[in-house]
Amino acid sequence: MIRLGLRLALAGGRGSVAGLALTAAAVAIGTAILLFALSLAPAVSERDARTAWRDTLVPATGDAGGTLVAVFEDRAEDRLLTRVHVAASNAATAPIPPGIASLPGPGQAFVSPALAALMAELPADQLTERIGRVAGTIEDDALAAPDELVAVIGTEPGVLRANGATVVSGYATEAAALDLPPIGALIVVLAAIGAMAPVAVFVSTATRMSAARRELRLAALRLVGATPRQVARLAVVEALVATAVGAVGGVLLFFLARPLIARIPLDDLTWSPATIAPPPLAALVVLVAVQAVGAAGALVSMRRLTIGPLGVQRRTVPPAPGAARAIPLVASIVALMVAIWLYRARVLPETVTLTLSGLAFAGVIGSIAAAGPWLTGLVGRVLHRIARGGATLLAARRLGDDPRGSFGAIAGVIMAVFVASAFHVFASYVGSQTGRDTDPLLQPGAVVAQLSSEPAADLPGGAGGSADLAARLTEIDGVTGVVAVREVALVRGEGMVGLGWLASCPDLSIVLGLSNATCAPGGLTTSSGATASGRYMLYPDPADPEGGTPPETSIDAGAGAPPLLAVEGELGGFLPTLLIDPSALDDPSAIANFPVSRVYVATDGSPGVGERVRTAIVAASPASIVRLEEERVAGNSQFAEIGRIVAIGLLGTLALAGCSLAVAVTTATLERRRQFVFLRSAGMSASGLRATILLQAGAPLVAVALASALLGVLVGIAVVWIAGGSLAIPDGSLVGVLVASLTVAMLIVALTLPPLERMTRPASVRHE
């Protein structure tokens, strides 16, 4: 029987083999996508493991010493640059970081290949001067990605100690568990479930590609006496030929496409192709599952044949799907809400509630597949009522006559739209949780440097160092102004009343563009109506203002003579309570006791000046965080990461759904090829054929997709709300995404038209 099945599959003529080849190709694409999907989590884990040595610093225990390590996030040419500063606290026990041959001495550095290339490209004063002399290259297995910018820089131990370095006796080899917020974990679980549905639809659609031809062939076998069981076995064998070849092709495609997929950045970094690999067991399960889906699809399509040999020849109108098909959808939505409430209430273990939520979400998607034919049939009936032309009538009748098949063609896109809409809501929520570390005070071309995250820390050399730095920055070509800001704690009476910035008022007004500030002597100017009055004590450490020590100095707002700008509530709370000009201090010489915490640099925006400023600041103070005005850095990286992963998943899902639609439309048209050939012979124009195909796919696509999008938004809002998030109403961009998705889907259908036109040419009536 197997041999006969193979013969029927392979020796059925050119058309039969072409059908099998198309099916196998579609299965290969689906398989490859599944393998890539399975590879995402391991690839992220591998990436995290490769950078664990610098992401997680484990302090050394005991007094044996080790290596002093301080890791700083920097930027170069708007790319993330990781600087790992190292020094031996004990040369005998100092462990060498992974990926380099030896511990670099002060002024030396090991750099990643991408950084070496960038250093060669940029002038030394824009990058190299903050790295040092290159002593060697960091090996791949210590890098997150081939294009990662990393430098291991040898530094004086004293400088590192002053900048909060950690002494380590070894390096972590495993990444710390990603501490996702609970709603983040829920979103990731739902995303994984949502992304798989269109893949299943695609594989199932692909295995149906040559079903019509197969049904006719096997019906003939039934006529000559084959039993239903034999026919079913033959159908399975034939389907497995395609899925087996497709699975092998999928594995090949996976390896062929891997270098290209590795170029898709996540978190600004591409991937080492070798790290994109699915877990072997999971990959095996996928390959077997694809065969099972193919065999099951063949058996389902053979149901009519097992009734009788004339089963495929007699066409009867099956009962139209009724509104009862919407009941599972309602039930599964309720189940999802209950599961998420349980998740939030923590009455069951998190794993259980997450699993329940995932299952319920899968139930919602499955229920869409059940309710879809009902809606499609409804669309067909409405279209039939309003049909005026032949194309509309043909499409309407087809939709009404075969709503299950018609919905099957668009099921992938409909599910993708549902998932995309729900995740658009999640993304809106994620977006609302993702702050922007953008300094609203920055003028175009400006640079701000946070000299240390620890306010107590200071530039090397204290005030002299900062003065020296300011002087050096001023000398850089393109720099038009430099203002050093000292952050102070303001104490009045019994407690701290806010923060103050101690800086030259005229300079700050110019550099920050505070057009409404007046620094004229003799008056106190407020920009927001706030007033400053009385005597303020100034302390250097806002975290511990009084700290048992006397204030460094004080100011008397009541005197009103010196420039003192009260700006409470201005600029989104970014500015401190008071801007204080040093001349307002009761003891102007006390300024040296307040560390410079921030430097604002105004530039003319000429090319490279920002990087030159950054290089100068970092060279003087390695722990500085320097941001150029044009750089925008997400403040909540975990939520941003979730958003990125979901976005990549959705793009893949929509692309796959589009492929699924193209395959389904092609299959459906080929199944009716004979009719179309006859119709075209009788004068149906190519445009009529096009209109019929586009209407048949487009009418239910638009109508059901809108319903699906609405459902997705409502489910998304409910999930976020019940899970404890703030109410997240998606913005109008969802409409744009929907329109774009449906347009792309219809374009994909349009791509199938030229070959379909050729295949239904009147001339081919001869072969029918």
Partner 1 sequence: MTLIATLPATRTTGAPDHRAPAPAAILTGRGLEKRFGGTEALRGIDFSLSRGEIVAIMGPSGSGKSTLLHCLAGILTPDGGTVEFDGRRIDALGEAERTRLRRTAFGFVFQFGQLVPELTAMENVALPLLLDGVRRTHAEGRAAEWFPRLRLDGLEGRRPGDMSGGQAQRVAVARALVGDPSVLFADEPTGSLDSLAGEHVMELLTAAARSAGASVVIVTHEARVAAYAHREVIVRDGRSSGPVAA
Binding site for partner 1 (CB under 8 A): 314-317, 387-391, 393-394, 397-398, 400-402, 674-675, 678-686, 688, 762-763, 765-766, 768
Distances (CA, A) of 461 to 467, 469, 595: 10, 10, 11
Closest distance of CB 726 from partner 1, Å: 50
**Closer of 251 and 753 to partner 1 (Cβ):** 753
* Cα distance between residue 344 and residue 724, in whole Å: 7
Name which of 117 and 763 has its Cβ closer to partner 1: 763
The DSSP-derived string for 1-65 is -HHHHHHHHHSSHHHHHHHHHHHHHHHHHHHHHHHHHHHHHHHHHHHHHHTHHHHS--BPPSSS-
Q: Which is nearer to partner 1, 62 or 683 (CB)?
A: 683
Pairing of strands 525-526, 564-566: parallel
- Cβ of residue 748: shortest distance to partner 1, in angstroms? 24
State the nearest-atom distance from the C-beta of 215 to partner 1, in Å: 15
Q: What type of residue is 428?
A: S
Closer to partner 1 by CB, 180 or 765: give it. Answer: 765
Task: Name the nearest CA neighbour of 199 among 54, 56, 34.
Answer: 34
* Residue nearer to partner 1 on the CB measure, 114 or 305: 305
Q: How many residues does the chain have?
A: 768
DSSP code string of 715-762: HHHHHHHHTTPPP----THHHHHHHHHHHHHHHHHHHHHHHHHHHT-G
What's the number of CA atoms in the CB half-sphere (13 Å) around residue 15?
13
Per-position DSSP letters for 483-531, written without gaps between them:
EEEEEEEEEETTEEEEEEEES-HHHHHHHHT-TT----TT--EESSS--
Under a CB-based contact definition with an 8 Å cutoff, are residues 486 and 501 in contact?
A: yes
Which residue matches tokens 């001339």?
Answer: 763
Q: How far is the CB of 399 from partner 1 (least distance, A)?
A: 9
Closer residue to partner 1, CB minimum distance, 92 or 682: 682
Least distance to partner 1, CB of residue 304, Å: 13
CB of 390 to partner 1, least distance (A): 3
Minimal distance in Å, beta carbon 315 to partner 1?
Answer: 4
DSSP string, 462-473: HHHHHHHHHHHH
Select 200 or 391, whichever has its Cβ closest to partner 1: 391
* Contact in structure between 18 and 198 (CB atoms under 8 Å): no
Strand order in the sheet with 67-76: 133-137, 108-111, 149-154, 79-88, 67-76, 166-168
- CB of 231 vs partner 1, minimal distance in Å: 22
Residue (27 or 396) nearer to partner 1, CB: 396
Q: Which is nearer to partner 1, 390 or 465 (CB)?
A: 390
Shorter beta-carbon distance to partner 1: residue 554 or 675: 675
* DSSP 8-state secondary structure symbol assigned to residue 96: P
Residue 238 C-beta: closest distance to partner 1, Å:
24
In angstroms, rounded to a whole number, what is the distance separating the alpha carbons of residues 503 and 487? 9
**Closer CB to partner 1, residue 113 or residue 390?**
390
Give the separation between CA 71 and CA 151, rounded to whole angstroms.
10
- C-alpha–C-alpha distance, residues 414 and 706, integer Å: 9
d(CA 676, CA 668) in angstroms, rounded, equals: 11
Identify which of residues 318 and 560 has a Cβ nearer to partner 1 in the complex. 318
Nearest to 83 by CA among 49, 123, 110: 110
Of residues 394 and 654, the one with the C-beta less far from partner 1: 394
Token readout for 42 is 């391991």
Question: From the centroid of its chain, how far is CA 734?
Answer: 17
CB of 72 or CB of 676, closer to partner 1: 676
What's the DSSP call for residue 325?
A: G
Min dist CB 389 to partner 1, Å, is 6
Is the Cβ of residue 391 or residue 484 nearer to partner 1 in the bound state? 391
Both tokens assigned to 596: 């410079």
β 495-502/149-154 pair status = unpaired
Q: What residues does 486 pair with on adjacent strands? A: 502, 596
Q: In the bound complex, what is the minimum distance in angstroms from residue 700's beta carbon to partner 1?
A: 15
Q: Which of 401, 436, 456 is nearest to 633 (CA)?
A: 436
> What are the helix and strand counts (H, E) for the chain?
22, 16
26-40: burial string, b at 16+ Cβ within 10 Å, e else: bbbbbbbbbbbbbbb
Minimal distance, residue 704 CB to partner 1, in Å = 19
**Distance of closest approach, residue 672 Cβ to partner 1, in angstroms:** 8
Shorter beta-carbon distance to partner 1: residue 342 or 686: 686
- SS3 per-residue string spanning 260-293: HHCCCCECCECCCHHHCCCCHHHHHHHHHHHHHH
> Is the Cβ of residue 312 or residue 557 nearer to partner 1 in the bound state?
312
Q: How far is the CB of 765 from partner 1 (least distance, A)?
A: 6
Min CB(218)–partner 1 separation in Å = 19
Report yes or no: 397 and 380 within 8 Å, Cβ to Cβ.
yes
Give me the half-sphere count of Cα atoms (radius 13 Å) on the Cβ side of residue 720: 23
Q: Closest distance between partner 1 and the C-beta of residue 634, in Å?
A: 53
- Which phi and psi (to 5°) does residue 578 adopt? -135, 140
The Cα-based distances of 543 to 454, 463, 489, 490, 499 in angstroms read: 9, 21, 8, 11, 10
Find the shortest distance in angstroms from Cβ 377 to partner 1: 12
